[in-house]
Chains A and B, each alone.
Chain A
Amino acid sequence: MILIVGGGKSSEIAAEEVIRQGAVPLRLVLPEETFSFLPDVETVKGRLLSFTGVQGNFQAEIEIDREVKKFNVGAAVIAVDETPKVSDTDCITLSSILENNYLKCSGTIVILLDAKKPSRASHIVAVEKAIEIKDNNPDCRIYIITPEVRTFGLDELEYCKAQKKGIIFIRAEDIKHSSGKMKVTDSPSGKVLDITPDLVITDEEQEVKNAALWAKAFSINLYEDGHFRLGNVSRGPVTSMRNGVFLCGTASRALLPREMDTSARAAATRAVTASQTPLMLNSAEVDEEKCASCMTCVRVCLFHAPSINEKGKSEICRDLCQSCGLCVNLCPASAISFKGVSRIELRNAVDDVLRCLHE
């Protein structure tokens, strides 16, 4: 069984792909979250209390309607998508023009693309929508104000088309907007332009909702911008820093819809493969008598494996330890040992290889 977290579009694609690969998906969404109904996929509403075990053999404790249920899962896919942050301004946003029909608007329309963490597709959506509005009503004037037009690949053709149709792009970093008037400084020429818009459309800042909550439950890390931290390059794509937990869609970075699709399929495929290849790693062990509770291991471990137990000593969680040996090296009291590379074993290994060389 593969645990898929999140109710967005990428979770649908991931669940679909898991079924296609012959495994059973279990979708978990938070009680307050909205999600789309999928007939073949079991979807539970609940909170993840703990996620223990190793790749191929995880135990997930999920609270469903104040009842704790245990599930055995082989791997997990985190498919929590970015959602637009609720803004405090009453401007019309890009996502609302996708839902509602604003094709009849006229006069001067300004599309302002200067959100700090926009979705990757926002510029393309803006350009396409602008063309649509212009086609419907050739008399209106449309300005797209942005520091940089980020249309990628073949979407550059749309950008070109928009310019030919008379949509005006202004590259501006300094934008002042107050009481129906706008003052923008065109950065290439340095000229100040005054615009009186009839309609302002803005793009929204995106956020991954409840990322901290999920990260804590899965013992994985977050980036500073609130996305889930991807595993390092050598772990391969769509991984997290924990074995058997995969990230897909916009959970880890801003992606185009097409890329989201691909990453969801990739994560599902990797999860199915991982669930069939259980991983047993050695774990570092702590000599409690030597441990000085200095918290060095707790601080250096990226996998959240060491913690201080109720005795006030360090304890390393077997499930989370990835046996890299960093804590063994850095422990000032040399209280942590690790089968195969403890201090004495390593010393003997050095002696042995050099003796072989000299003989």
Chain B
Amino acid sequence: MNDCSILIICCEKMKETVERASLENSAVLALPCLGRIDEAVILRAFRKGADAVIVAGCVEGNCKYNSGNYQARRCVNEVRDILEEIGISGERLEILNLSPNQAVDLVNLFENMKEVVLRLGHPDILGAER
């Protein structure tokens, strides 16, 4: 399976780092701050055919707006529960506290995520568009 697609949601500050990592089979969605992220965004991504989602925010305590990355973590935990409920493995969703000079963390997580997707295949979502 070579056509896995992974969505990386990041904040404005991490956009450059994520884009410079130029990961294959990935799409990047940049928000002003991860405080904006809500459950609907992540679930929409799965519905639109993403195999996995990585949420990349700043290091804890480092958010310019103080609480965006905590908010994202709360949201990700909540969505993971929803995914498990509807029969999608929670492993497909991961949050990462990235610092701009540590792109290697993102690359490592991305490789792990790829393996997870290879192992699990495409998520089985009714009406998902691919």
Chain A residues within CB distance 8 Å of chain B: 232-235, 241, 300, 302, 322-326, 328-330, 338, 340-341, 343, 346-347, 349-351, 353-358
Contact = CB atoms under 8 A, between A and B. Distances in A.
B29 A324 contact: no
Contacts of B5: 354, 357-358
B68 A233 contact: no
B127 to A, nearest CB: 14
Contacts of B67: 300, 302, 326
A300 B25 CA distance: 36
Contact of A302 (B25, B36, B65): B65
Interface in B40-65: 40-41, 44-45, 48-50, 58, 61-65
28 contacts: A232-B61, A232-B62, A232-B65, A233-B62, A234-B58, A235-B64, A302-B67, A324-B33, A324-B35, A324-B64, A324-B68, A325-B35, A325-B36, A329-B35, A340-B32, A341-B31, A341-B36, A346-B31, A347-B41, A347-B44, A349-B29, A350-B29, A351-B44, A351-B48, A353-B29, A354-B49, A357-B25, A358-B5
Interface residues of B, number: 33
A326 B33 contact: yes
B41 A326 contact: no
Interface in B51-89: 58, 61-68, 71
Given A354-B5, A354-B45, A325 B66 contact: no
Nearest to A343: B40
Interface of B: 5, 7, 13, 25-29, 31-33, 35-38, 40-41, 44-45, 48-50, 58, 61-68, 71, 130
B64 A232 contact: yes
Contact of A347 (B28, B33, B36, B40): B40
B35 A350 contact: no
Given A324-B32, A326-B35, A357-B26, A350 B48 contact: yes
Contacts of A343: 40
Contact of B130 (A234, A241, A358): A358
A94 B38 CA distance: 55
Contacts of B26: 357
A234 B41 contact: no
A233 B68 CA distance: 14
Contacts of B7: 350, 353-354, 357
A232 B63 contact: yes
Most A CB within 10 A of own CB, among B7, B27, B32: B32
Contacts of B63: 232, 234
